[in-house]
Each structure stands twice: as C-alpha cells, then as structure tokens.
C-alpha cells in the first residue's frame, strides 16, 4: 500500500466518523473543549497506527479506547480545572426520533452521573459495546462494568421518571 493510498483511506475514515467520535468524546468528557483535545489526540494516534489497524478493521475500537484513556490521563493532571460547558454552538446529537427537549434532558441527566458510571453507560448503552469490550476500554473488571451500569441506569431512571400529579 502506498503512502498516498493509506492517507486517502485515513482521511475517508476520519471524514465519515469524526462527528460521531466527537459526540462520543463529549459524552465521555462532559466538556466540548476537552472533547476536542481528546479527539485530536485519538486521531493522531490512529494515524500512526493506521496501517496495522486498517488491515484488521479495528479503527473505531482503537479511537474509542484512546478517547477514554486520553480523558483519564487529562482528569488525572493536577492542574486540570473542572468546568462544565453547554451544547451551545456545537453539532447536535447523532440520533433522531426523540424530541429535542427529551434528548436535552437525557443528556443533562447523563452528565450528572459520576464519571465512571457515565463512561460505562455511554460505552455500554449508547455505543452498544459488550460488557467485556467496555471493561477492556476502561481497564476495569466486568463486574465493575455491571455494577456501574446498573447504578448509572437506576440514577438516570430516577432523574428522568415522570413526576406524578
């Protein structure tokens, strides 16, 4: 494979998946600015590993894993300031079908979850990963994935339950 062919395939993949991966990064990070930085890191690392990954068809899983790990690295930095930014000025969610108000309410409730519960819920239930894939991406045990998933979904249900009249 020539370098120009490899670069063209990489650009095609990034062009097709960038908006989705950006939303994944935001769902994991909870902050658009950090999500942009994390995604940039992930796409840079993907470019370096592209020849190996593209042959195996693991591009998306690799980027997703790097997004999670880069966010963990950023969270652990001592000088990191915790800021929550809104959705203003950014692309909307990728899925349609729910009214905007319901999607906004769901996303706000998701951002209120503890960080690890949010990551597990996003990977398991938004991206549809298996328990094992989620555990591998987050470097935690499958039992921990199951407990975070259970607690996160219960918290979301409690926050989003209709208020009785």
The 10s digit of each residue's pLDDT in 105-140 is: 888 888 889 989 999 998 898 888 889 989 988 889
Most confident of 61-65, 78-82, 91-95: 61-65
Q: Would 121 be classed as within a structural domain?
A: yes
Structure confidence at residue 146 (pLDDT): 94
**Could you tell me the CATH number of the domain that includes residue 144?**
1.10.10.10
Spatial separation of the C-alpha atoms in residues 47 and 80, rounded to whole Å: 27
Looking at 83, 118, 152, the residue that finishes a domain is 83
Q: Would 63 be classed as within a structural domain?
A: yes
CA distances from 129 to 14, 36, 43, 104, 158 (A): 21, 23, 20, 23, 24
Spatial separation of the C-alpha atoms in residues 154 and 148, rounded to whole Å: 10
pTM: 0.57
Task: Answer yes or no: do 22 and 57 share one domain.
Answer: yes
Domain count, the chain: 2
The arithmetic mean of pLDDT across residues 15-34, rounded, is 89
Spatial separation of the C-alpha atoms in residues 106 and 100, rounded to whole Å: 10
What angle is formed at CA 140 by the lines to CA 69 and CA 17, rounded to 5 degrees? 40
**Reported confidence tier of residue 59, pLDDT bands at 50, 70, 90:** confident
Q: Is 81 exposed, middle or buried (0-12, 13-18, 19+ CB in 10 A)?
A: exposed
Q: Would 57 be classed as within a structural domain?
A: yes
Look up the domain containing 155 and give its range.
Answer: 97-165
Residue 78: is its pLDDT beyond 80? no
Task: Answer yes or no: do 43 and 10 share one domain.
Answer: yes
Q: Would 91 be classed as within a structural domain?
A: no
């Amino acid at each position: 494979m020539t370098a120009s062919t490899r670069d063209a395939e990489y650009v095609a993949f990034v062009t097709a998946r960038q908006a989705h991966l950006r939303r994944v990064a935001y769902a994991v990070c909870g902050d658009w600015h950090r999500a942009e930085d994390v995604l940039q890191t992930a796409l840079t690392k993907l470019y370096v590993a592209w020849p190996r990954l593209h042959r195996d068809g693991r591009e998306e899983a690799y980027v997703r894993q790097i997004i999670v790990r880069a966010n963990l690295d950023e969270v652990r930095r001592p000088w990191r300031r915790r800021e929550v930014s809104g959705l203003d000025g950014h692309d909307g969610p990728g899925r349609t079908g729910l009214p905007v108000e319901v999607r906004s309410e769901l996303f706000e409730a998701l951002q209120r979850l503890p960080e690890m519960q949010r990551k597990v819920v996003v990977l398991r239930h938004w991206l549809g990963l298996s328990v094992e894939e989620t555990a591998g991406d987050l470097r935690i045990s499958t039992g921990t994935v199951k407990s975070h998933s259970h607690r996160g979904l219960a918290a979301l249900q409690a926050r989003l339950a209709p208020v009785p009249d």
